[in-house]
Each structure stands twice: as structure tokens, then as C-alpha cells.
Amino acid sequence: MEWRERDGLRWLEARMPGAIAAFMTREGGVSEPPFAALNLGIFTEDDRDAVVENRRRLAAALGFPPERIAAAHQVHGAELIDHPAPPTPRCSFALQGLEKEQRDPGCGGLAEADGHVVSAEGVAALVFVADCVPVALAGPGGVAMLHCGWRGLAAGIIAKGAAAIGATQAAIGPSIGPCCYEVGPEVQLALQPPMGLKAAHTTAFSPGGGVVDLAAVAEEQLRDAGVEQVEASGLCTSCEPELFFSHRRDRGRTGRQAGLVWRDAGEG
């Protein structure tokens, strides 16, 4: 991965055959602390106008109209949305000001999912993260972007995303590392084989719990799903407060960065 910067925004970029992934930092936006600066989370306590401007800046920096970026309200599951064409309004990053309480049958509301599959060119898939693992996939069937918390990993979101596009390559963005992610025994139990957690990815559990390396779990599940080439950032969101929001470090009052992936029209 390589660092990229445009108009004050900074991100890690991964290039895969026929695809590009971008893992954004918190740099380059207009939000005030504790959401400074590029908070993309509309359901945080941040000023809505600031979030809308941050989203506009992200879309402009990456060269996408907001309506051609697929996004959803994430619920820590394994549901994926397929986008063979530009996203519908319910899955559009351009649907920026819709609060949860405004969702109703008349407007359709935001779709709920934790991953997007894109086969259309000129369309990007986006997930919001603030410790969970953003995973970008590329394969002959297109690209996929996954939001992988421990619940999603336990529910098989990696295998579903890989199968949806016949993934051959993946990029794992910054997420909370084992240095900062202490969990209870229920998390370890949920991630036991066959979902992929091996002893190397966790300390011995004390009565109070232990730690889990979510990125390592994601990488193992990718390889189990037949994805042979996997690149990982190796960065911990909790350890890098200048670069990333972290839900755990900031005790829930924090912003959201994003992971995105799109087909590269210049390749394959």
C-alpha cells in the first residue's frame, strides 16, 4: 500500500488486478473535536453540515459523484448488497442527511448491510469503520467492500464476499490491533473454527477474557475462502489517534473513516 494525498485528504491506496482500494484517514475535513476532521459518520453527534461537507470532499478527492458511491447503514452482520449498476437512492452516499428517525416507507430509508458487491465501472463501494476491519476484494466478478467486526467475521461475511465475485486478491485496511483489543470469552468462542480463529491470533484467556487480532482472523478467513493474495496495512486505529478514529480508544464518542474499492478502468 502507498500513501496518497489530495486537497488535504490523506489515504492508503492498494492496487489489485483491475481494482483500486482506498482506506481513508481522519485528515482533511471540517469537523471540530472530538470528530476532527474528516468524520464521515452521519449517525454520530457531529454537526450534520460538517459531515455532509466531509463526504463531499471525499467524493471529490477520489473523483466520484456521491451518487455513484454505494453505502448503507451498517448493522454488524453479513448481509451484502449487489450493485450491477449505480446504486439506488437507498444505497447512495449522496443520501447524506437522512437520520434514522426519518426513515419511513415513503422515502424508503437507508438500506442495511455490511458489504457491497460492485460489477459496474465508475461505481465505488464504501464502508464506514472506526476499529472494525475494512476488507477490499477483487476478482473476475467485480469488487467487494466489507465491514468486518467480530460479529460479521463470525457470521461468515468474508466467505460470502469472496464467493460473490470469485475473489483472488484482497486488501485489509487499518483496524484495531491485538495491542488494544481486549475481549471477553464470548468473542473468542464466536470466532472459533470453522470460522478461523487459531491460537496464534489470541492470548490465553484469563477469567476476564483476552485479546484478538481481528485483521489476522480476516486474513485467515480470506485464505480459507481461496483468496491467495492478501495485503494488510498492519496499522492499529487505536494506536494512531492523529490518523484514525477509534471507537474503543475514544469510548464511543468519535467519528468514522471509510474504506472504498472500485474497478480500475485502466486494467483488466
In a domain, 197, yes or no: no
Give how many domains the chain has, as a whole number.
1
Domain residue limits at 115 = 2-100+109-175+227-263
Q: Are 248 and 131 in contact (CB under 8 A)?
A: yes
Indicate the pTM of the whole model.
0.92
In a domain, 45, yes or no: yes
Distance CA 230, CA 216 (A): 11
Q: Label residue 195 by pLDDT band (50, 70, 90).
A: low
Distance CA 218, CA 12 (A): 19
194: cis peptide before it, omega within 30°? Answer: yes
In a domain, 206, yes or no: no
Assign residue 78 the CATH number of its domain: 3.60.140.10
pLDDT of 198 above 70 = no
In a domain, 201, yes or no: no
Name the packing angle between helices 214-224 and 157-165 (round to 10°). Answer: 40
Distance CA 86, CA 258 (A): 19
Number of Cβ within 10 Å of residue 223's Cβ equals 15
Q: What percent of the chain has pLDDT over 90?
A: 77
In a domain, 241, yes or no: yes
* Digit-coded pLDDT (tens) for 10-65: 999 999 999 999 999 999 999 999 999 999 999 899 999 999 999 999 999 999 99
pLDDT of 204 above 70 = no
Q: Label residue 207 by pLDDT band (50, 70, 90).
A: low
In a domain, 190, yes or no: no
In a domain, 215, yes or no: no
pLDDT of 208 above 60 = no
In a domain, 187, yes or no: no
Task: Reduce the DSSP state of residue 8 to 3 states and report it.
Answer: coil
